[in-house]
Amino acid sequence: MAILENIRKRTTVLILIIGLALFAFVISGVFTSGDLGGGKVGSAVGEINGEEISRDAFTQQLETATRNAPPASSTLQNVNRVWDRIVKNTILEQQFEDLGVGIEQDQIFDFIRTTGYAQNPEFQNENGVFDPNSFRQTVADWKVNNPLQYDGWLQTEQAIIQMAKEQTYYNLVKAGIGATLKEGELDYKLANDKIDIKYVRIPYSSIPDSALTVTKAEIAAYINDHQEEFKQESTRDIQFVYFEEKPSLDDENTVKDEISKLIGDTVEYSEERDVMDTIAGLRNAKDITAFLDRKSDVKFDTIYKARKNLPASFADSLMTLNTGEIFGPYKDGDFYKVSKMVDRKPNGSVKASHILITYEGAQRANPEIKRTKEEAEARAKELFRDAKKGDTPFVELARDNSDGPSAPNGGDLGYFQEGTMVPKFNDFAFGNTVGTIGMVETDFGFHVIKIDDKEDIVQIATLARELEPSDETINTLFTDATKFEMESIANEESFSDLAKENDYVVRPVNRVKAMDENLPGLGAQRAIVQWAFNEDTEVGEIKRFNVNNGYAIVQLTGTYKEGLMSVEDASASVLPKIRKDRKATQIIGANTGKSMEDLAKDNNVTVSNASALTVKSPTIPGAGAEPVVVGTAYAMEQDQTSDLIKGESGVFKITVTKRTPAPKLENYSTYASSLKSSSAGKVNTAVYDALKEKSEIEDNRATFY
């Protein structure tokens, strides 16, 4: 009691002490973790040229984008779409501000005239023309009476303003793009001046790679001299073993046994009537629909099917069944099945082609067709006679003369079952043999019909049970995954060796980026990517993840920082380039001053010829694309011989044997205009890409999503 009394007297002091302790506990993480949110630095999703993209603003746009996105879109896909849009809008808006690009209200209405709003009768005058005043009045009404629609309009208005600004900005750039007649003439000549050459090519492959030694210092020097080619993003390498929840062989056999027992009749005790009842199986079931409703995972499909619509691996066996016969059990995908032939319709599906000649007033006739019914009948009879003669293939007659939608396909209607077509067409198709050509009249017009093929169709009842892992299988899988995880963490043996000992497949995934979502073999696994990029995750670390239908035991095997690639990482792409340069130098050094014939003889190659080469298509037969070689030839005079040329596939020496200038044109304005249009068409993408390349962009998306 004395202790309790002392506590009561010191309540204020005690509360203060507890408060200070809690405060110390909370702030201690600030100084030990180095951030304020478990690795999430600040509240900005990113920064573009010094302008922060706050998380709140980003989240608002993300919520809107998610509502409007297709149902199958993942969160990360929506995040990426919003980020790309914000980056583009921010970069361009900074340009608009610097240049003073703005949009007036009349420009907004000019833009609206090109949208769906202008087609809405609510915004049109009595002449059916878009009326800005009507639009203003409607928007004002939304503001008072329909706030939700008004908010939607405000977002649309901002998008319109942005698009209008972009259009103005890009048009300013396009105004400075042009092409002179001389440029048009040059473009014409580069495509049409023909050059014939005689050449010798000493391929780089004549010197084996093993004859050259390339040091790490040389690779490093090459990387340093070509830094733009060897920039890399921050990436990770991982490897994993996937433990998939799938039926075991025992599970499959259990389902197979269960479904086999349902084929024949079974005897069961009826407690209600105190007798043994015989329960009809699939073979003797009177009501097949009710039987499959009770016993099968797939309902009875009453549709008659042709061979091509049956499971490919079992179609032949199923089609040979007589009515009432059983096939199975058989495994088809994720099911065990037993099938029973219920009915067969010989020649129950017909393949036919037709020529439709319609007339004004016929059902679904094209309004442009003005022929009378009598004229249509006469034309159809004429085509019927031509088809019967057989001088012109039916396909051509249909393609050139039919008014029906199947005309482009030569009148082919494909296969159809009885009752699909209108009665007269149906009766002709099913009442005549293959190859018969006839003519019938329907409400659509006059049809010249050819029967191309017939095939049997069958009605099959299938008892199916889906293959699923049993509880025992699932528990065993969990045990195996956990055991492998623990052993791989505790064991000094390598992850791959341990997996090999247990007959597990190790799957590597290299160069995973921070904003990647899908991993080959696992699908969408954002949690694994985030773990791999967590600053606390070290190379060699192993972790188990619950994934779709199982578990993945994942190991981080490599990290790559943003910047220049290391010598080891770049060597695969650098080595061929250094070797090519060294081989070219070696070949040129050993063969300088030689004639073409001596060059060919000394290097065990032949003198070859190539004709009609152009700069626009610089491909040499037998050598491939050689722009430097063809470009050199273009600058040479006829009968002139070049020095040794370093090409793409080898070292060349060429002689221009013939030059054929393109015919002169009176005017090259067409080619100049084409150049201008081509350049203008690239402006939007090229300008934005250039601005983005020069922008300083800090991307923190991976921290939050």
Cis peptide before 408 (omega within 30 of 0): no
Cα→Cα distances 667→180, 472, 615, 674, Å = 11, 83, 21, 13
Same-domain status, 517 and 612: no
What's the token pair of residue 583? 């081989």
Angle at the Cα of 351 from the Cα atoms of 346 and 353, rounded to 5 degrees: 150
What does the pLDDT average to over 201-221? Answer: 93
Residue 11 has pLDDT above 70, yes or no: no
The answer on pLDDT for 24 being more than 70 is no
CATH number at residue 302: 3.10.50.40
Q: Is residue 219 part of a domain?
A: no
DSSP 525: -
Do 17 and 138 lie in a common domain?
Answer: no
pTM of the model: 0.67
Q: What is the pLDDT of residue 248?
A: 93
Residue 6 has pLDDT above 50, yes or no: no
Residue 518 and residue 456 share a domain: no
More confident residue, 5 or 77: 77
What percentage of the chain has pLDDT greater than the value 70?
Answer: 94
Question: Both 400 and 546 in a single domain?
Answer: no
Question: Which residues are 335's β-sheet partners?
Answer: 332, 466
Of 615, 614, 593, the residue nearest 602 (C-alpha): 593
User: pLDDT by residue (tens digit) across 602-655?
Assistant: 999 999 999 999 999 999 998 999 999 999 999 999 999 999 999 999 999 999
At residue 441, does pLDDT exceed 80? yes
Residues 425 and 461 in one domain: yes
d(CA 377, CA 362): 12
Listing DSSP states for 61-103 in one string gives HHHHHHHHS-TT--HHHHHHHHHHHHHHHHHHHHHHHHHT---
Nearest to 701 by CA among 76, 52, 94: 76
E strand spans, 366-429: 412-417
Q: Does 328 lie in the same domain as 262?
A: yes
Residue 4 banded pLDDT, cuts 50, 70, 90: very low
Identify the residue with better confidence: 32 or 415. 415
Whether 175 is covered by a domain: the verdict is no
Same domain, 346 and 475: no
Beta bridge partners of 560: 235
Task: For 146, list phi and psi in degrees, rounded to 5.
Answer: -140, 75
Q: How confident is the model at residue 26 (pLDDT cuts 50, 70, 90)?
A: very low
Is position 686 within any domain?
no
DSSP 8-state symbol, 34: S
Ramachandran bin of 390, using left for φ above 0, alpha for ψ from -120 to 50, beta for the remaining angles = left
Q: Is residue 501 part of a domain?
A: yes
Tokens, residue 151: 């908010």
Domain presence at residue 691: no
Determine the average pLDDT of the residues in 304-322: 93
Kindly write down the DSSP assignment for every residue of 318-334, as one continuous string: HHTPPTT-EEEEEEETT
* CB-CB contact of 200 with 605 (8 Å): yes
Residue where one domain finishes, among candidates 540, 561, 582:
561
Is 215 part of a structural domain of the chain?
no
* Domain of residue 57, residue span: 53-163
Q: Residue 550 is part of a domain; what is its CATH number?
A: 3.10.50
Residue range 30-41, pLDDT digits in tens: 333 333 333 444
Q: How many domains does the chain have?
A: 5
Q: What is the pLDDT of residues 330-342, one digit of tens each?
A: 999 999 999 999 9
Predicted local distance difference test score (pLDDT) of residue 417:
93
Residue 181 pLDDT greater than 70, yes or no: yes
Instruction: Say if 177 falls within a structural domain.
Output: no
Mean pLDDT (the chain, rounded): 88
Residue 430, pLDDT above cutoff 70: yes
Statement to judge: residues 403 and 282 lie in one domain:
yes
Q: What is the pLDDT of residues 229-244, one digit of tens each?
A: 888 889 999 999 999 9
Shared domain for 428 and 516, answered yes or no, is no
CA–CA gap between residue 242 and residue 481 (Å, rounded): 9
Q: How confident is the model at residue 317 (pLDDT cuts 50, 70, 90)?
A: very high
Question: For residue 318, what pLDDT is reported?
Answer: 94
Cα separation values, 178 from 99, 175, 184, 186, Å: 22, 8, 11, 15
Model pLDDT, residue 42: 58
Taking Cα atoms as reference points, which of 323, 539, 350 lies closest to residue 428?
Answer: 350
State the Cα–Cα distance between residues 391 and 408, nearest whole angstrom.
Answer: 20
What mean pLDDT do residues 490-510 have? 91
67 and 18 inside one domain: no
Q: Which of 434, 452, 468 finishes a domain?
A: 468
Q: Which of 96-105, 221-230, 494-503 has the lowest mean pLDDT?
A: 96-105
| Domain edge (last residue) among 468, 493, 528 | 468
700: in domain:
no
Query: Are residues 462 and 346 located together in one domain of the fold?
Result: yes
Confidence at residue 126, expressed as pLDDT on a 0 to 100 scale: 80
Give the model's pLDDT for residue 115.
Answer: 76
**d(C-alpha 657, C-alpha 198), whole Å:** 7
Q: Quick one: 475 and 622 in the same domain?
A: no
CA torsion sign for 39, 42, 44, 46 is: negative
